Structure 1
Amino acid sequence: MRQETLEIQNQSAKQPLVIWVIFFATIISFMGLGLVDPILPAIAKQLNATPSQVSLLFSSYNLITGVAMLITGVVSSRVGVKWTLLTGILLIIVFSALAGSSNAISQIVGFRGGWGLGNSLFIATALSAIVGLSIGGTAKAIILYEAAIGLGISVGPLLGGELGSISWRGPFYGVSVLMVIAFFALLIKMPQVPKPKVKSSILDPIKALKYPGLLRLGLTAFLYNIGFFTLMAYSPFVMNLDEHGLGYVFLGWGLCLAITSVFVAPKIQARFGTVKSMCAMLILFALTLLSMGIWTDHAIVVIIAVIVAGLFLGTNNTLITTAVMQVAPVERATASAAYSFVRFIGGAIGPWLANKLAETYSPHVPFVTGAIFVLFAMLVVAFGRKHLAHVDTASH
């Protein structure tokens, strides 16, 4: 492990400064996702909201993020990468602060939608910028991006738990302050990146979905994200932990996600290939959700399963993101926008569906349903392997 770490550090040292500025901003951006998790039960209690109402914090965020992916290329091809990133960060600063100042669940849900708009402008552009500006090829760039996501997601819950124990408003204000730091870091350190010669159209991501491989990966992520956000948005309500406890559980989950996305995914992909590796990770994640569905009443089982799930999610995230960058003969930003548009719709459905199923039927049903969706995701990959066969060759 130490030798692998040194190798990554040696390769990383060659990266231009702008990569590390975007890397830092990406960490802070994705801290916003995990920051909210430890305070979901507290928001429900203090604002007299049901779990399904609170889950709309994820649904509005993901829905607007997904739909807005269609305009990210339009914006970045006209104002440039730097100002698209800065605009996205500015929107996150404003809407996270407004969410923290809200007094009703409907207001927070609405402001989280604005937050999602900023997030879409940032994350799609950040991915294409890191891939386009980094040294060492697409695969290494994706690993850097996924490492930033993993660090952000893992540190976010810890900070969210600490700030949330003071007030549920704390994490929202925390995101706003951290993104102010990211804004000025990018403003000062990031140079202007040349605009593409051809301006993107809002229809480009939709047209890109005509490529079977990209469509398969989008559908896979759509189904898999329903399971992913079942874990994110529903499990906090059955673990019977306070803000600190939830923060530590999701810290463990995020650390597993970060470590496997950087160190494990490339090795598994090299040895077994993308399709087999993705299928294996999706099956393991489905089994993890199923175990949570069977032993929902045993908090310790759910806690362990959430942390273990990070191992499979981190690996799969890197595998699927790398494949998206290789699978279609379109601009990377367009491929990323098309894929993200489809997957975030799944991320919008999952949180609300999980909590509604729990309220309507029983606490066990959401996890079992999530497992079924993830298994369908595996089947989409398995039966579409002929459209993904060239990914492993292209990534080398």
Structure 2
Amino acid sequence: MSLAMWRQPRTVWSVAFACVISFMGIGLVDPILKPIADELGAGPSQVSLLFTSYMAVMGVAMLGTGWVSSRVGAKRTLLVGLALIIVGASLAGSQDTVGGIVAFRALWGLGNALFIATALATIVGAAVGSVGQAIVLYEAALGVGIATGPLVGGWLGGISWRWPFFGVAILMAIALLATAVTLPATRPAATPTALSAPLRALGHRGLLTVGITALLYNFGFFTLLAFTPFPLDLGAFSIGLIFFGWGLLLAITSVFVAPLLQRRFGTLPGIVGALLGFAVILAVMGVGAHSKPVLVVGVVAAGAFLGVNNTLITETVMKVAPVERGVASAAYSFVRFAGGAVAPWLAGQLGERSVQLPFWVGAGAVLLAVAVLLTARSYLRAIDAEPGHGAEPITSRIEAEALTVGDA
């Protein structure tokens, strides 16, 4: 991997740092799912609503992220998103009922929608190099955040299940301050994005198919993330350590392995191979669901396949449709998160009947994702037919200046 791709403008590193903190918020909550259930007298399906409300609101809100950011500028949108996450996380940690936590996780999801879609578009738009290299930078931030989040969450969760929520709020406050100080002011778009733009973008078959693929993949992902802590039945720090291993492997493969596989085999074989590998792991975890060693090894090993899939599928979203990248990201995220919001709740419901069933259903959904993706193979092959897998320069000099020049 070229060292040149790591020489990026301050804008890119500012947003990437905020992304690290944002994605830490995902892993921070995971080790405390069972402690919340035990202390508040809730079952897996009730606690899983922490993910469902978060994803449902985030997915629907994605439709409006481009409309907002194009009118107030990327920096203001990022700051509003971060502020909403701080409020949502703080209030969630102060609740005494699962319903209260679920409600404020929804507010957290609204903030995350404004932040994530805008952050990805900002990094891709401001980075020096190619789309693929910008995606690797974004996935590197994601991987570092996801890897370190469970460790911090496990440590704080050992004090109280409330502290990971407060930890998120503190970390997001640091990210907000860093973004406010280091990110140059950004102008509103010359042509504001229409509210209907993401829905119109889904008329492109390639983008819609990739979104449905990710929706189905979420059934496997949230079985792993939201349900596995229950059959593991370990302390918060132990769960955090296991998911740290998962996140670390995800970070390594997303940054270093995914680009190598893409160059060697192509985008479509890379995604299909990663999804098939993940489906096999879920099936093995289903067979050995009563064995903690099997579950631990399965969780950590899944990180290798998820890292490859995340990088390649995110890069595909940025290239597959002839629309603005912010619009493409919002459209894809809407389908992925709003449609997949039922996944964590379903995993909890199935797990209350049989500890093996969520893993089998997750494996089946991931296999169905492969079948769906193959219906759009011509679009992915067209990407690979371009020089460098469609790795065109991301911005011209004028576009880069427009992203970094202040309002005044």
Normalising by structure 2, we get a TM-score of: 0.94
Aligned-partner Cα distance in 2 for 1:40–1:170: 13
Residue ranges of structure 2 left out of the alignment (5+ in a row): 393-408
Mapping 1:3-14, distance limit 5 Å: 4=1, 7-8=2-3, 10-12=4-6, 14=7
2:373 counterpart residue number:
381
Q: Is the 8 A contact 1:160 1:247 kept in 2?
A: yes
User: What displacement does 1:202 show?
Assistant: 1.6
1:260 counterpart residue number:
253
Aligned-partner Cα distance in 1 for 2:154–2:112: 22
Percent sequence identity over aligned pairs: 54
Q: Is the 8 A contact 2:69 2:77 kept in 1?
A: yes
- Match of 1:15, SS state, is coil
Question: Which deviations, in whole Å up to 9, do the C-alpha atoms of 1:277-322 show, x marking residues without a partner?
Answer: 1111111000000001111000110010000000000000000000
1:114 counterpart residue number:
107
Q: Is the 8 A contact 1:225 1:346 kept in 2?
A: no
Aligned-partner Cα distance in 1 for 2:121–2:53: 24
1:372 counterpart residue number:
364
2:81 matches 1:85:
no
User: What displacement does 1:346 show?
Assistant: 4.0
Q: Is the 8 A contact 1:92 1:115 kept in 2?
A: yes
Aligned residues: 388
Aligned-partner Cα distance in 1 for 2:97–2:115: 27
Q: Give 2:47's aligned amino acid.
A: V
The more displaced of 325-334 and 377-386 is: 377-386
2:208 counterpart residue number:
215
2:44 matches 1:48:
no
Q: Is the 8 A contact 1:157 1:248 kept in 2?
A: yes
The CA RMSD measured in Å over matched residues stands at 0.9
Mapping 1:299-310, distance limit 5 Å: 299-310=292-303
User: What displacement does 1:390 show?
Assistant: 1.7
Q: Is the 8 A contact 1:28 1:178 kept in 2?
A: yes
- Match of 1:388, SS state, is helix
User: What displacement does 1:150 show?
Assistant: 0.5
2:288 matches 1:292:
no
Question: Which deviations, in whole Å up to 9, do the C-alpha atoms of 1:335-360 show, x marking residues without a partner?
Answer: 0000000011244111100110121x
Aligned-partner Cα distance in 1 for 2:375–2:15: 36
1:395 counterpart residue number:
391
Aligned-partner Cα distance in 1 for 2:325–2:383: 14
Aligned-partner Cα distance in 2 for 1:23–1:143: 11
Aligned-partner Cα distance in 2 for 1:73–1:346: 19
Q: Give 1:35's aligned amino acid.
A: L
Q: Is the 8 A contact 1:275 1:388 kept in 2?
A: yes
List structure 1 runs of 4+ shifted beyond 3 angstroms: none
Normalising by structure 1, we get a TM-score of: 0.97
Aligned-partner Cα distance in 2 for 1:395–1:60: 36
- Match of 1:390, SS state, is helix
User: Which of 355, 363, 370 is equivalent to 2:355?
Assistant: 363
Question: Which deviations, in whole Å up to 9, do the C-alpha atoms of 1:164-196 show, x marking residues without a partner?
Answer: 000000100000001111111111111122322
Mapping 1:1-396, distance limit 5 Å: 4=1, 7-8=2-3, 10-12=4-6, 14-359=7-352, 361-392=353-384, 393=386, 394-395=390-391
Aligned-partner Cα distance in 1 for 2:251–2:338: 24
